Chain A
Amino acid sequence: MGKLLDNYEIGPFYDEMFHPDGSVRQHYRLLHERFNELTPEELQLKRRLADEAYLKQGITFTIYKGDEGMERIFPFDLIPRLIPAHEWAFIERGLIQRITALNLFLKDVYSSAKILKEKVIPPEIVLSSRHFRKEFCGFEVPKDIYIHICGTDLIRDRNGRYLVLEDNARCPSGVSYLLENRQAMKRVFPRFFNRYSVRPVDHYPQELLGVLRFIAPQNCENPVIALLTPGVYNSAYFEHSFLARAMGIEIVVGADLVTRDHKVFMKTTRGLQPVHVIYRRIDDDFLDPLVFRKDSLLGVPGLVDAYRHGNVSLANTIGTGVCDDKVVYYFVPKMIEFYLGEEPILPNVETYLSSFDSDRKFILENLHELVVKAANESGGYGMLIGPQATKAEIEDFRQKILADPRGYIAQPVIYFSRCPSLCGDKIEGRHVDLRPYILCGEKITIVPGGLTRVALRKGSLVVNSSQGGGSKDTWVLDDPDETTN
């Protein structure tokens, strides 16, 4: 009987497990051996075990079809993604450098705007960014930290080089899957962990709590912290609840909060109780109907006022979304040079701005070979993948770009690295990315690894959960013996 990994096709991509010649990368050897010992039946049994555990615990996200919400489990792939210690050390340095620059950029752009005055970034680009909040210019945030939680998406090109695909500086989600995936792996493959020395990840909630306590308003010794969620019908509600539980803080919806005298309170069975720090999982737009969207029922009227008075801290702060703008992303390497005087450790994906005349000309001539992205969309929406697009789709994007050059960027098609994944009863290569979660408080902390998202549809490059994506456990290895390539 053939072994599971014997007929594996590496394809013209960087493969996480195999060298191009088909030999197994050193740090994957034990894992490869173990998976090859499993019969397909054993593997299916393991898979069922994992799925049942997820369903039983209600680790689901909600998909809406018609009027009935359907709960789906976020597909979990049993074959972990391994990162050797030296690779992780490099990634970590790169991410710390990047988040430091982004926080300096936000402080600058909301105060003296030096970077704009010196024309390192054209001012109109920042000022026209959809998530730039000019109302907060001149407003000082606690400890000068703007982004407390950042989810930066990394990919690897054909040479295995790590590149930054985007920064998620508003409300990055997915960290609960990172933590649950590890739990699931421990249940399903307990013996793996004896053989590999895998760096733990379960301290994430404690680290996050530390950040939230650190940014509490001054003179607040025992801050009351709450997680503000849009509610149970939000697709990430499970994660909100999971994190609140793990940190032992209250989870609240807008209607649980009320403001009085520029302060925020929770409605409790004992009356109104003050709240000092809010880990909000609601976008700026919905935070306070008195300031942002008037029709928002999710927010708290008066919250921004209390925030301005310094009586409540928000994580992340208001206005960080400017960093998620894909046009601003283009300038992050320049920010790193400008603020830190360093070369970027983790490069961006090569990017063309259609607001630059020369770039635009190039983009329009090469639409069939490029990926075009709307500057302010996320979740895999508003995208054109040139080589896979029809003529009509390409023309559609051409018109869009001409009508709104500021709204689009283009990048060459990057074939992300692939990782062996369980597909039906076979193991096949599937494209993966990596989202580490970066925490900024007293210091910068990154739990080892991150969430590896995998595009489970054959050939697909889209890893988002709404579009057929799943995830894998990600192991950062500690043992130097396992790390030579």
Chain B
Amino acid sequence: MLSRVADSCFWIARYVERAETNARLLVVNHQLLLDFQDQEPDVERKHWEPILGTLEAQEIFYRFYQRANSDTVQEFVTFEKENPNSILSCLAAARENARTIREQITSEMWEQLNKLYLYLKSPQGRQDFINSPYNFYYSIIEGVHMFHGITDATMSHDEGWLFLQTGKFLERADSTSRVLDIKYHIILPSGEPVGGNIDLTQWRAVLRSCSALEPYLKIYSGQVKSWHVAEFLILNRLFPRSIRFCVDSLDHHLHKISGSEERTFVNEAERLSGKLRSELDYETINSIFQFGLHQFLDKIQRELIEISDSLVATYCSWLPAAEFLTIS
């Protein structure tokens, strides 16, 4: 398949997944705020800044907005065109990529992506956002789920599909690491004990951000504890948004592209993803907490970036045509 097309497939999936992550972060944070009104004078800022922290977007945010509060952060993360990672920017980029490879994806996929993008830009979308952010963000999450479902059900599971899967799982691993990391950025109100009510509510929100509350409760019989939440979201083998599950799937699809066997490698991307995969296989939550949760997540994020870069270098980048001529 054309390198350019592979690149677009990979990025469509990443952008779409990123849009979903943003919607999840916002809807949960919004819900959480309703539980903690009037705690402290500066509570709104403290409540919304962590979102910017976990998205690594503080700098660009303060270039355009003066204060972080519910309105500005939601606007920035949802609609802001100047924010390259806002939901709108992500969907616009995914759609633009899809437009250039329309003949490679199915009409149903294109129509779904187009519909989602047009909804976000429509007066109706804006009105839904004002009336009920909860419903609004869930329509976006649902729209993304629909896109994945349509992709699986209508597109041949060929090379393009593999690049879409690779992008999806890579971004999703990154997304879960960021949602989990938000706890690092949220500072407990003064006097609140670790493991106290507020702390636990925050952990519960983290689970909800990943649609993980119910699956979690099934396994840990109803008790929300910080290290259990982290264990579940990082190391659970079967939960489809856990980092381990996502890295397993990433590694699996990546190997399918080249046809090489898992646990071997024929390029740098496979080597790095295989390495990350086996690291997670032998990790325990105790060792992660000893290393430092934030540091660990940070490391995962950096390794995912390296995998992404190597994948693009292996399959998607070519020297400009002019250089070929001078070489030959």
Contact = CB atoms under 8 A, between A and B. Distances in A.
Interface stretch (B103-111, B215-223, B293-301): B103-111
A258 B99 CA distance: 23
Contact of B321 (A58, A244, A300): A300
Given A258-B321, A260-B324, A268 B103 contact: no
Given A57-B111, A258-B321, A269 B102 contact: no
B2 A302 contact: no
A315 to B, nearest CB: 18
Interface in B17-53: none
B115 A56 contact: yes
Residue of B110, B315, B322, B324 contacting most chain A CB atoms (<10 Å): B324
Interface in A364-383: none
Contacts of A173: none
A253 B4 contact: yes
Interface size class on chain A is 20 to 34
Contacts of A267: 2-4, 318
Contacts of B102: 58, 238, 241, 245
A479 to B, nearest CB: 33
B257 interface: yes
A436 B99 CA distance: 28
A266 B114 contact: no
Contacts, number: 67
A209 B188 CA distance: 66
Nearest to B102: A241
Contacts of A482: none
B257 A251 contact: no
Contact of B4 (A57, A256, A270): A256
Residue of A245, A267, A300, A302 contacting most chain B CB atoms (<10 Å): A267
Contacts of B103: 241-242, 244-245, 251
Contacts of A250: 2
Interface in A33-61: 56-58
Residue of B3, B96, B159, B315 contacting most chain A CB atoms (<10 Å): B3
A269 B3 contact: yes
B318 to A, nearest CB: 4
Interface string B65-105: 00000000000000000000000000000001001101100
B181 to A, nearest CB: 33
B260 to A, nearest CB: 13
A232 B100 contact: yes
Contacts of B328: 260-261
A255 B115 contact: no
A254 interface: yes
Nearest to B7: A269
A93 to B, nearest CB: 35
Residue of B4, B6, B315, B322 contacting most chain A CB atoms (<10 Å): B4
Given A260-B324, A300-B321, A268 B2 contact: yes
B320 interface: yes
A267 to B, nearest CB: 4
Majority SS at the chain A contact face: mixed
Contacts of A151: none
B322 A58 contact: no
B325 interface: yes
B1 interface: yes
A185 interface: no
A106 interface: no
Contacts of B316: 269
Contacts of B257: 269
A269 B321 contact: no
Given A57-B107, A58-B110, A241-B102, A268 B321 contact: no
A80 interface: no
Contacts of A253: 4
B1 A268 contact: yes
Interface in B225-261: 257
Interface in B272-322: 315-316, 318, 320-322
Interface in A108-137: none
A58 B113 CA distance: 11
Contacts of B3: 256, 267-269
A255 B110 contact: no
A259 interface: yes
A232 B173 CA distance: 31
Contacts of B114: 56, 58
B2 A259 contact: no
A135 B1 CA distance: 35
Contacts of A241: 102-103
Contacts of B115: 56
Residue of B315, B318, B321, B328 contacting most chain A CB atoms (<10 Å): B321
Contacts of A419: none
A255 B321 contact: yes
Contacts of A232: 96, 99-100
Contacts of A245: 102-103
A318 interface: no
A301 interface: yes
Interface in A262-307: 266-270, 300-302
A237 B102 CA distance: 10
B324 A255 contact: no
A99 interface: no
A255 B4 contact: yes
B259 to A, nearest CB: 10
A112 B160 CA distance: 50
B325 A301 contact: yes
Nearest to B325: A301
Given A58-B110, A269-B257, A301 B2 contact: no
Contacts of B159: 269
B6 A301 contact: no
B100 to A, nearest CB: 4
Interface in A198-255: 231-232, 237-238, 241-242, 244-245, 250-255
A255 B159 CA distance: 21
A286 to B, nearest CB: 14
Contacts of A438: none
Contacts of A302: 325
Contacts of B318: 258, 267
20 contacts: A56-B115, A58-B99, A58-B111, A232-B96, A232-B99, A241-B103, A242-B103, A251-B103, A256-B2, A256-B3, A257-B321, A258-B325, A259-B321, A259-B324, A260-B324, A267-B4, A269-B1, A269-B3, A301-B321, A301-B322
Given A56-B115, A267-B4, 17 more contacts: A58-B99, A58-B102, A58-B111, A231-B100, A237-B99, A245-B103, A255-B321, A256-B3, A256-B4, A257-B321, A259-B324, A267-B2, A269-B1, A269-B3, A269-B315, A300-B321, A301-B325
Interface of A: 56-58, 231-232, 237-238, 241-242, 244-245, 250-261, 266-270, 300-302
Please list the 10 inter-chain residue pairs (A to B) with the smallest Cβ-Cβ separation, ordered nearest first: A245-B103, A269-B315, A267-B318, A232-B100, A241-B102, A244-B103, A241-B103, A258-B324, A258-B321, A267-B3
